[in-house]
Amino acid sequence: MCGIFAAFRQEDIEAFKPKALQYSKRIRHRGPDWSGNVVANKTILCHERLSIVGVDAGAQPIVSDDERYILTVNGEIYNHIQLRAELKDYPFKTMSDCEPIIPLFKKFDIDAPKHLDGMFAFVLYDKQEDRIIAARDPIGITTLYMGRSSEKKGTVFFASELKCLVDECDDIIAFPPGHIYDSVTDKLVRYFQPTWWDAKKIPTTPVDYKLVRSTLEMAVRKRLMAEVPYGVLLSGGLDSSLIASIASRETQKAAKEIAAQEEGIDASGTLTGVDGEGHLALNGWARLHSFAVGLPGAPDLIAAKKVAKFIGTIHHEHHFTLDEGFDALSDVIYHLETYDVTTIRASTPMYLLSRKIKAQGVKMVLSGEGSDEIFGGYLYFAAAPSAADFHTECVTRVKNLHLADCLRANKSTMAWGLEARVPFLDKQFLEVCMNIDPKDKQITGEKIEKYILRKAFDTSDDPSAKPYLPDEILWRQKEQFSDGVGYSWIDGLKDLAEKSVSDEEFANPKAEWGDDVPTTKEAYFYRLKFDELFPQKAAASTVMRWIPKADWGCHADPSGRFQKTHASAVEDIKK
C-alpha cells in the first residue's frame, strides 16, 4: 500500500507543483520507499511508494507505453496474474500488480474496477482526452478523499489522507467505497453491486460450512502475495486467530514448494500471488511471524501466546504502558483523522504495535477486521428482535466499515509504512457469507456469537483432521480489541478525559460543532485534539462517530464490557 495525491485541471500546474509535492510529502509515512510524480497538461499525479510486490520495478506513477495513460495506485490487486493473462496483448513494462489497471481501463472503461479483486484506491489520467478517473475498492479498505475549492472552479483533488487536502479544499468528502469518479460526467457512480447490497432483501440460503471454510482459506491465500517479510496481527480472539492459523498452514505449504524448487531461479522474473488455479507462489520470505500487543497481563496476550504456540508461528509479544498510550493520542488522531471514541481507543494500541512491527523489518500483516460485521459478532446483536433485523444490521455495519474499522486498520498501520490486509472482506467471501440465512447467524442460548464461523473451522468430528485452533480459543467469547489489550486502558482514558475537561467546558460545547456534540468527556477530549490538528471546517465533515443501537440495549459506551452477555475474557468460553 502507498500514498497518492492528485490535482486535476489545476491552473499554472508548474507553479503549483512544489505545493503538490509538499502535500504528497505529508503522507510519506504511507510510502517511505520512493516518491514519484508526473505532470501532464494541467494535471499532476504524485505517489509515495511502499514496495511489497514488484519491488525492483514497480515505481509509480506508471505511464503507458504510448504515454497516454498515467496511473497512481494505493493498494494491492490480488488477481493481477489472471489479468495479465487475459490482457496479454498489452506491453507490460513492470512486474507491479497494479499495472494491469491501465489495459483493463482501455478495454472496459469505467467498468474496469468491476474486474479487480483487491483493496485499492487509484487515480488514472488520460492525457489525450484530458480525463481523470478515480476509484476505491468495494468496501473501502483503502482510504481515499476527494476535495474541491470554491476558489478553483473545475479543479478536483484526490488524496489518500485528509491532511493533504485541508489547506487547499473547503469541500472534502471521504470517497465512497465501491464507486468510480469520471471527470467527463463529474459524477460518482457505484460500480460494486453485489447480490447482498439491498439490506431489505433477506437471504434464505442455509449455511454451507465447507464453503465458508474454503472461501476464507482462499481469501487468506490471496493476501499472502508479497516479496517482503510479512506477519499476522494476533489478538488471541477468534477472528485474528483463524486468519493466523490459515496463514500459518499456507506459508508452511508454500515453503515446502519453494524448498522443492531447483536452486538458482531468478526471483526478479517471478510473479508473486495466486494463479488461476488458486495456487500460491511466494518469492521467498516463507516464515510466518505473529504479533500481539497489550498492557502486561492483558487477556489478549494470554490467548495470543496460546494460539501462536498451537499454530507454530514465531511470536512477538509487545507491551505498552498507560502513559505511552496517553502520550500517543495526539499522533494517533493526526494519523487517523477522526475523533470517534471507539476508533481512537482501538487504534492507539494498534498504532504502537505497528511501529514495533516495522522496526522488526516486517512490511505487511494480515488482520481480522470485518468478521463481526459479517456474522453479527458484536454482543449487542444478541438482542436483535428478529432474523431480518439481524441481517439488516449486518449489511449496515459492513457498508459503514470504511468509516470505522477499515479506517483504523489502514491508518494505524500505514502511519509507520506497514500494510494491513483483511481477508474477511474478500469479495467472494462476502458474497458467500452475506447471503446466508440470518437465522443461522443469530445468537441464541445454544449458539454463541459467530457460531457458524466457529463451526466451519471445528474439526472435532474428524479425528484425522488437524485442528485449526484450541477449543478454548475457537469458542472464546467476543472481546473488542480496545478491551482485550487490558481493561485498565479504557478506564485510564476515561480518567484522563475527566481530568482534562472541566464540567464548565463540557456544559458549553463549541457553537461550530452544531448537532455533532460529544456526549461524554472522553469524546469531548478527542474532539478538542482533532480541532487543534484540523481546524478547517471541511475536515470534521468527513468524520463519522459511532452511535449506539439503544433500542437493542446497546450501551452508550462502545466497550463490549457494558453488554449484559459479556464474560471475562480470561475464562474459557466453550460451546
pTM over 0.95: no
**Residue 2, pLDDT above cutoff 50:** yes
pLDDT band at 131 (very low <50, low <70, confident <90, very high): very high
Please check whether residue 415 is in contact with residue 354, taking contact to mean a CB–CB distance below 8 angstroms. yes
Homologous superfamily of the 3-190 domain (CATH): Aminohydrolase, N-terminal nucleophile (Ntn) domain (3.60.20.10)
Helix (H) or strand (E) holding 331: helix 329-336
User: What is the reported pLDDT for 273?
Assistant: 81
pLDDT band at 300 (very low <50, low <70, confident <90, very high): confident
Angle at 166 between CA 161 and CA 171, to 5 degrees: 100
What residue type is 414 in one-letter code? M
**Residue 123, pLDDT above cutoff 70:** yes
Q: Where are the domains of the chain?
A: 3-190, 209-259+279-562
Residue 433 annotated to the active site = no
Would you state the CATH architecture of domain 209-259+279-562? Answer: 3-Layer(aba) Sandwich (3.40)
Establish whether 367 is an annotated binding residue: yes
How far is it, in rounded angstroms, from Cα 115 to Cα 86? 11
Q: Which of 146-160, 258-272, 359-373, 431-445 has the lowest mean pLDDT?
A: 258-272
How far is it, in rounded angstroms, from Cα 525 to Cα 357? 29
CA atoms within 13 A on the CB side of 146: 24
Establish whether 233 is an annotated binding residue: yes
Establish whether 237 is an annotated binding residue: no
How far is it, in rounded angstroms, from Cα 489 to Cα 351? 14
How far is it, in rounded angstroms, from Cα 507 to Cα 420? 40
- What is the tens place of the pLDDT at every residue in 243-261? 999 999 999 888 776 565 5
Establish whether 83 is an annotated binding residue: no
User: What is the reported pLDDT for 381?
Assistant: 94
Choosing from 2, 98, 164, 433, the catalytic residue is 2
How far is it, in rounded angstroms, from Cα 163 to Cα 533? 9
**Residue 573, pLDDT above cutoff 90:** no
Q: Identify the residue whose cell numbers are 482462499.
A: 218
Reduce the DSSP state of residue 35 to 3 states and report it: strand
Establish whether 73 is an annotated binding residue: no
User: What is the reported pLDDT for 550?
Assistant: 84
Mean pLDDT of 3-17: 97
pLDDT band at 303 (very low <50, low <70, confident <90, very high): very high
- What is the tens place of the pLDDT at every residue in 510-533? 999 999 999 999 999 999 999 999
